[in-house]
Amino acid sequence: MNDELLALVGAWIAADPDENDRATVEQLLNCGDESEIHRRFDEPLTFGTAGLRGPVMAGPAGMNRSTVRRASQGVIAWLHELGIDPLRGVVVGRDARHGSEAFNDEVVAVLLGAGVRVYEMPRPLPTPLTAYALQFLGAAAGIMITASHNPAADNGFKLYGPDGSQIIAPNDVIVERYASAAGAAVLAERTSPLFHAVDEGVLESYREHMTSRFGVASSELGIAYTPLHGVGGEFMSGLFTRAGFERVAIVEEQFRPNPEFPGLPFPNPEEAGVLDAGFATAEKNGATLLIANDPDADRLGAAVQRRDGSWRILRGDEIGWLLGSVALAAAQDDDVVATTIVSSSMLEKMAARAGVSYATTLTGFKWITKAAPGRRLIFGYEEALGFAVDPCVADKDGVSAALALARLAHDLSLHGLTLLDRLDELEERYGVHAGAQLSLRASPLRGREVLSAVMTRVRATPPTSLGGVGVSEVIDLETGWNGLAPTEGLIWRLGSTGRVVVRPSGTEPKLKAYVEVVGGLSPGDVSAARESANVTLGAVLDELSRILALDD
């Protein structure tokens, strides 16, 4: 181990406020475990998708009290650089993951010690409520301790700016610069006059607003709901009842927060098998709609029972079309809807027919919520189960989206229809839009290196055809495109047949390919059109899996 690394490790130990973390690193030094020291110190966590996210462990590459303390100091210095009055306050929230309470306490202590007013959420709550409280209180920023749908070993530090939405460049770079240079922090207790617990009235105003928008007098619709061992359970179940949905069956074994997420290696509604317990509860209770939130309840997953009793899991794009159809029907002048470059192209067609402005953004809600400067974003979504159905939350919100989807399902049920009938109607009108995602996971140890090598290779030699369909255009997003900021990714257009977007994940060591195949159809023949489009989709995915194979 070289002297430079030894000095770095020694400095970390000296500054680390956590006795157990200090002991862990000291033990690694004493044992001469150089590979583990390198894993924890070579690549520190840096501000990426609106903050930090990584495994809970000692050292700069992990989420720990020291990392959180430095990040909090970075936020304070960033606010000073922007000239924002710290007395506007920072809203601090947390989920129920391992370390969340301790990390939350660090944030509060550091902010108070620096003379920043603090509004602390009263208990572990869904991420969207922190975003809502920020706007409601007119605070300067918001910090949410969460790793969303990541595995149980992870945690994170999510940062919202003065506009209520996730930060983007150059703010992330500024925070990172100050955090990396942070020295000893001054700490203060909650006895400080600058400390305020977020009043229950703030949460009540959210409930009142969303139930007035999406509630019904009374509904007989059978719904099953699971929060996947996250923080959405108590809040969401109460909201369903208040909104008039009286037949909601809770997946009891997944209702209470549990940071281990038992039985769910990846607590994400998109992952195979994650909804199995929900299906069992739905069938036991005669429910025809299954709704799931991820652990911090900012995402929404759903499945609908077919008339033959089988279940169809809705893709994020399909939920986006359903919720988008409602938003577009109620749109006013100057309203905007938005989705990302990796989402389906159908929303754009729907908006054009409705005469409503539409925007395409880069991937992630930090871009979606900034798609309509000076105008009202009435709906935004990303295919990864993120939906914004109300401007009072400038981020994805799986809580209000769940209510909005339940309301639509209820309204359709009054006419003997289901969400699947509405999807048929939309695809008969705008054409079948078959979609799928290819996700290739790299080893965490060499993730960045492997993904970079694959992107370099396919950028140099892009395919000329995929699944028997010619590639008509190659777009390198690294140089910017259609007014969007440069980002790592490629678009391969397949003429009028569809497109493929290839990009590395911003939060995990994954390479992702997003495929859409568009097919025309004759009215009333949506099933045949879907079958044909899915054949092409499968052929494209098969070829992509060979082209994008990771040398891991």
CA-wise closest residue to 436 among 504, 343, 338:
343
CA-wise closest residue to 308 among 420, 434, 422:
420
CB within 8 Å of 68: residues ≥ 6 apart: 103, 106, 107, 145, 157
Answer whether 433's CB lies under 8 Å from 518's CB: yes
Answer whether 282's CB lies under 8 Å from 258's CB: no
Joined together, the tokens standing for residue 55 give 């495994």
CA-wise closest residue to 143 among 205, 18, 51, 49:
51
Cα angle 57, 59, 64 (rounded to 5 degrees) comes to 50
3-state secondary structure of 403: helix
Active site residues: 148
3-state helix/strand/coil string of 25-88: HHHHHHHCCHHHHHHHHCCCCCCCCCEEEEEECCCCCCECHHHHHHHHHHHHHHHHHHCCCHHH
**Distance linking the first and last C-alpha atoms of the chain:** 26
Crossing angle of helices 419-430 and 346-354, rounded to 10°: 80
- List strand residue ranges (DSSP E) for 269-334, in order: 289-293, 300-305, 311-313
Sign of the four-CA dihedral 206, 209, 210, 216: positive
Element holding 366 (H helix, E strand): helix 365-368
3-state secondary structure of 420: helix
CA-wise closest residue to 390 among 373, 404, 405:
404
